[in-house]
Structure 1
Amino acid sequence: MVLKIVQWNINGYHNNNNELRLLIKENNYKIIALQETHLKESPPTRYVPKNFSIYGYNDISTEENAKRGVAFLVADNIEFTPLELHTSLLAIAIKVKSQINFTFLNIYSSPDDQFAEHDLHELISYVNGPLLIVGDLNAWSPIWGSPRFNSKGKIGTKFIENTNLLILNDKSPIPKYKRANAIFKREVKTSKRDAFATFTKDINCNTPSKVLWNKVNVLHGNRPHNLIHSIEKENNSSTSDPLEIGNTLARAWSNYSKNFNFSEQFVEHKNRFINVINVVYPLSKTSSAMEGNFSIQELDGCLASLKGKSPGQDNIPYELLKHLPFVGKSKLCELYNHIFNTHTIPQQWYLYRNLISRKVLPKDIDPYPSSLAYQK
């Protein structure tokens, strides 16, 4: 299998998310190394291309906006593990398992950042075996296509010579790349405009509100969940019954979690945790008070906060409860504690009564005014 890899200074992950998805779709890349992601945190799932996972480092400046940042987008069918680095450079690395296992290093250095050759040597000291380095160091050197040297380019060139690394760049001139990138962005912008016009061409004053809101939800990325209408069972027969579909999925997931699907080492590790005796810690004073019975003082505080004079179904107004003697409040408190502890609410408390009364109008006012008699 050919493992297709690309490196891109995306200059804002969210700003160029659509271009990123198009790039993956048209070229079938499996790993994308990104620089200048401008992410303050990992993006929501809806911004991660389908069948990909993101691993990255978010570098936030002292300003409100996020600056710099590097990340990897890796296809779900590619196995990799992050490699921990201790470096002053903005860099991340992953170990990729493929036909040839290798370490993939992604670096970004802004035009204002400076580094020395020993920083690069320190970075690759964490790597054993084949190594692939990509990134945007803002380093200029004719050996990788720049028209001239800058200080970073001289450091990078010396580093490559001293480590026997090979340059994979095709030495395409930078202006050629920028021109191709500008054409690409113009095509994407045109495609967006045409797609939006096609998507909204059926909207008019007669469009049903349901159709309109469905289109609005699609634009917001809120697509409806796809329901499972039928499923194949264990005996190769199919069913469309929702209950049977749920039970079939439950049985399948249950089988996946059984011990025979895992190694002996994992099963032993799992059993050790299952057999650990759970320690029951005592409740804090606040929690104990919340779990305890109601007190007379709490009942008095509650009654004092009640407002209104209309009695309930039992015709007992709040004022009567507020002026109960101590014995009466004790019995009332016992009743509430019994309800609280047994979770049994008296059936009468579920009842309510509607009282409908006719409004009495003065004799000189017509109860059926002509202004209302003809209203539909």
Structure 2
Amino acid sequence: MFETVEDPILTFNTVLTSIADRTIPKTSANPKHPSKPWFDDACDQAIDDRKQSERRFYQHPTSENLSNFRIFRAKARRTCRQARRTSWKTFILGISSRTPMTKVWNMIQKTKGKNAKATVKHLKDGTDLLTSEKDIANKLGETFAKSSSNNYREDFKKVKKQKEKIKLNFKSKNGENYNKLFSLEELKTSLSMAHDTACGPDNIHYQLLKHLPDSSLESLLKLMNNIWESGDLLTRIIQSLYSTALRWLH
């Protein structure tokens, strides 16, 4: 299928993503209407009643339904307006000279229906609570440092040192089981065990691959085996990392 193209992997990705764009609807990661602090159950019920009366009027445009719609519309406006006032008064009463300005402005943004930017405000270290950016950064650096190879247990270091003294035999006729071509069952098993992580630079989610028919999986398997046989696997990985780095730089 892809024998005549210059870059079969890119062609496969392009075809798959184009089909997905045409057939799978996309949703935004950000909600269209951020939640407002004053919007409570009463507001929700009032707006729901207004929508129901509006639909009833459009389906049966009688004077009675029009009158009911106007009543529910006025009730919804009154309920939301009262909820806004009550919420704002409660917030104002809670403000003092010690209230941070950040909290005040965040509340104003939420009242307008705008979400405040989420930031790291604290980090729990045992029973201590770190709040300053410097303390948080130092604690994270300390934790990462403990994960380095210099912090292995002594018993593991001894085994590691002994094993590293053994010379490895790199001579092979490539007849081992791990050098054989991948099978369709192995591909399906690997996909079934894959977690639904975020998409990579190719924008192909694991769910797309998991729901491919066998004919498409066989094409993908052939591409993978061609890369495996040609020995271009390392080159492909380096190219992918290089292109990803360029995207981050730009």
Which of the pair is proportionally richer in strand? 1
More RCO (CA 8 Å, sep 6+): 2
Place the TM-score, normalised by the shorter chain, in its bin: under 0.3
TM-score by length of structure 1 reads 0.17
Which of the pair is proportionally richer in helix? 2
TM-score by length of structure 2 reads 0.25
